[in-house]
Structure 1
Amino acid sequence: MAQELQSILDTADPWAADLLLSALAAAAASYRRATCTVPFPSPLFGDGDARDYAALLQNLQALPPLGAPGAAARLSAQQLSLVSWLLTHPRRPVASMRRCTLRQVQEQLPSLTGWVADIGMNPSLRPTAVLQLSAVPPSVGSSRVLAFHGTSFENLHSILHHGLLNASGTRLERTGSAFGKGIYFSSELAVAYAFCQPAEGWAGSALGRRLRCLLVCSIEREAIQSSHNSDLVPDKYLVVEAMDAVQTHFVFVYCDDAPPGSPPPPAHHPAHRQQLQHPPAARVAAPAQRHGVSPLVWVLAAFTLLLLAVGLRDNPSLRRFVRRQLGLRIL
């Protein structure tokens, strides 16, 4: 089994495997793990009420970085079965995912405008990594609409394998349904990003330990309940009830911390060479001038000193106190 898994790892995109492991680890650590870990590796860790989430999480967090040559040979029998189950799952095999650059995303989504400018104005919106899940259909722009969906990272494992679910009115609902029942999207990247809650992922991840995710989807135009056909839905929001009308094409991954000391994906991997040509930009630091003292602070300080001087001049009791305590004579 080790040789078979190593063959899969050698041909898979290292970041795709990394993201699958990180998503499962975040789901297993969630207090909503019963729903977030669907699908669950039942043959290895039990089913129903007998699910051993602690053992699943322990095996995941003990995994060494899988980008190094011969990594599969260092796994235990249970870890081999777990990683093989995850990377070859029929609903989301690792071979169906590949990394890409923002430029490649832009080239495939010419009808989705504005988000590149948003990233330029707000560097925190620039993803650490981008992975493509499916091809963008040619009907985008005519019968299908592109939009963003922000969600908690702990939901990603289930989303990758089952797609986005309409949880309105069910126990899975998290953010309410103020504008009607359905799955909520936005035409603006910044609006969707506000719903991207971070979660702790896989300890050996080269992407980072604390991650966020944002989905780029296409939606059948006829299925959208938007501000154009409903007074309830505000501008820039889209609400979709029909789950089969939604298709996810890209995952934007954001890292809230620096990647741990694990080695990066192997340099000989073709996808890694492509990424080196267009390296993923991490969070860009704020401009240098923000670290200096604002001129407004100096103005406020000078105004405060002026008020203090006026108070000393007009208050004889305060002048006597300063003269006795500090030895200063105030005119």
Structure 2
Amino acid sequence: MPATAVAWRSERQRSRGSRACGPCGSCQGSTGGTGTKKMAAPDSPLRSPPPQNSEDARLLVLKIIAEDVQAADLQWSLFVAALRSYRYDTVLRPFPTSFADQATDTKRIDDLRDVAARVPPLGALLPAGSVAKSSTSAATGPKGVPREAWELLLWVLTCGGVRLRSRKKEDVPELSGDSAVDAVFEVEHSPQADRRFEGTRGDREVFFAYHGSRLDNFHSILHNGLLAHMNKNALFGSGTYLSSELSVSATFSPAGYGWQHSLVSPELSCVAMCEVIDHPDVKCQDRARSKPSRAYARDSMAGMVPERYYLVQNDSVVRVKYLLVYTATQPAPPPAPDILPAGMVTSTADRAYYSPGWQDFLRKNKSWLMVAAYAALLCGIGLSSSRVGHKLMLKLFYR
């Protein structure tokens, strides 16, 4: 049996692998769910009550970063990648409610980008030497980071109870023969999502498969899971396509630009390593020997699902267990135009990060400036074809 399709038979293995990745309750299908849930253990910032003020948000963010700065960095980078995307209305889900106007059903995307641009490198938020361990001095941090930036960071790092944890490749036996993966992060979900997945699983076996996608999709994938209706490829049937081979899925994950200050890498690609329940709603060939009809989807236009592929037609039977990250050895500069202003990067961590005022003015008023430029062009054309315009031209240029 291939390593990517390992069935977990023992109860001990089953209980160890029981992290759910279905749609997170308050985030599913919503552009505005904050999704900060109360959870069991009080010693983790994720499981603490919502902050009462900006100081609470700052302390919680610093504690989360001190626990695992690489994981926090990637989670923020995935959010920024979705925020950069021209498809932000689709991929930036969940969307922070504090930047959504419920009355008019609009999103203040420019304001959200302004706040995100003021977030400094996460490593600079902690005292020197405390990045790799929990620090009791987490109350210290750079001055000048605005309150909105702390609150946005906290929302991103705790929304829906989803957290990332740094792992070594050696911790995942299925990756033992793959040296191309640069970093591995385990996806941890809320107990409610765990129970939903286990209820769907019952006594069925579980195996691993891989799913590749654009970088800007992974903020939504992390919180909402793999949603069949978002897939546009329906040649062999509607649903989510996965593969038993990492190299196949990696071809569907082009490198994208995330966050310019990322510790992981500003330019990277991700592949989701998923747990799939051996369920009739999973169409494939290698598990269709006893029931050949499992190799076909009812709405297939090209026959059987190809070998090495799985077609999942039920969102509840698949969950993301790990994110496999490929980093760029020489990251490209930020794409132009940079829709997320880089701000003023200084050498000291306690300086504020801000966007230049004139750039901010141009970006926020580009529509009016284009109208003004068009009006000026029309006036110029009108003057050039009139007697008054000719007289002015003669006076200005032929004195």
Instruction: Give the Cα–Cα distance (whole angstroms) in 1 for the partners of residues 100 and 329 of structure 2.
Output: 30
Contact kept? 1:214, 1:251, Cα under 8 Å: yes
Structure having the larger proportion of residues in helix: 1
- Sort the Cα spacing of 1:31 and 1:259 in 2 relative to 1 into closer, same or farther, 3 A: closer
1:129 corresponds to 2:183: yes
Aligned equivalent of 2:352? none
Unaligned runs of 5+ in 2: 1-53, 127-139, 289-293, 296-302, 333-344, 346-399
Which residue of the other structure, out of 253, 260, 263, is the alignment partner of 1:203? 260
1:150 corresponds to 2:212: yes
* 1:106-141 per-position Cα deviation (integer Å, ceiling 9, x unaligned): 1xxxxx5xx543x25xxxxx2221110149999899
Contact kept? 1:207, 1:259, Cα under 8 Å: no
The residue type equivalent to 1:89 in the other structure is C
1:52 corresponds to 2:98: no
Aligned equivalent of 1:25? 80
Contact kept? 1:16, 1:97, Cα under 8 Å: yes
Which residue of the other structure, out of 222, 231, 247, is the alignment partner of 1:173? 231
* 1:246-269 per-position Cα deviation (integer Å, ceiling 9, x unaligned): 111100111224469x9xxxxxxx
- SS of the counterpart of 2:311? strand
The residue type equivalent to 1:215 in the other structure is A
1:220-239 aligned at under 5 Å gives the runs 220-222=277-279, 223-227=281-285, 228=288, 229-230=294-295, 231-239=303-311
The residue type equivalent to 1:24 in the other structure is F
1:191 corresponds to 2:273: no
Contact kept? 1:45, 1:56, Cα under 8 Å: no
The 10-residue stretch of structure 1 (137-146 or 48-57) with the greater mean CA deviation from structure 2: 137-146
* 1:138-157 per-position Cα deviation (integer Å, ceiling 9, x unaligned): 98996112111111110111
- Sort the Cα spacing of 1:211 and 1:45 in 2 relative to 1 into closer, same or farther, 3 A: farther
Instruction: Give the Cα–Cα distance (whole angstroms) in 2 for the partners of residues 141 and 256 of structure 1.
Output: 41
Contact kept? 1:187, 1:238, Cα under 8 Å: yes
Aligned equivalent of 1:39? 94
Instruction: Give the Cα–Cα distance (whole angstroms) in 2 for the partners of residues 4 and 195 of structure 1.
Output: 39
Contact kept? 2:271, 2:325, Cα under 8 Å: yes
Shift of 1:23: 0.7
Instruction: Give the Cα–Cα distance (whole angstroms) in 2 for the partners of residues 84 and 57 of structure 1.
Output: 16
Contact kept? 1:199, 1:211, Cα under 8 Å: yes
Contact kept? 2:118, 2:146, Cα under 8 Å: no
Aligned equivalent of 1:218? 275
The 10-residue stretch of structure 1 (52-61 or 178-187) with the greater mean CA deviation from structure 2: 52-61
Shift of 1:35: 1.2
- SS of the counterpart of 1:133? strand
- TM-score w.r.t. structure 2 length? 0.55
- SS of the counterpart of 1:192? helix
Shift of 1:85: 1.3
The 10-residue stretch of structure 1 (57-66 or 138-147) with the greater mean CA deviation from structure 2: 138-147
1:66 corresponds to 2:136: no
Contact kept? 1:180, 1:232, Cα under 8 Å: no
Aligned equivalent of 1:256? 328
- Sort the Cα spacing of 1:153 and 1:10 in 2 relative to 1 into closer, same or farther, 3 A: closer
* 1:299-322 per-position Cα deviation (integer Å, ceiling 9, x unaligned): xxxxxxxxxxxxxxxxxxxxxxxx
Task: Indicate the structure (1 or 2) with the bigger Cα radius of gyration.
Answer: 1
Aligned equivalent of 1:9? 64
The 10-residue stretch of structure 1 (146-155 or 47-56) with the greater mean CA deviation from structure 2: 47-56
Contact kept? 2:204, 2:277, Cα under 8 Å: no
Shift of 1:102: 0.7
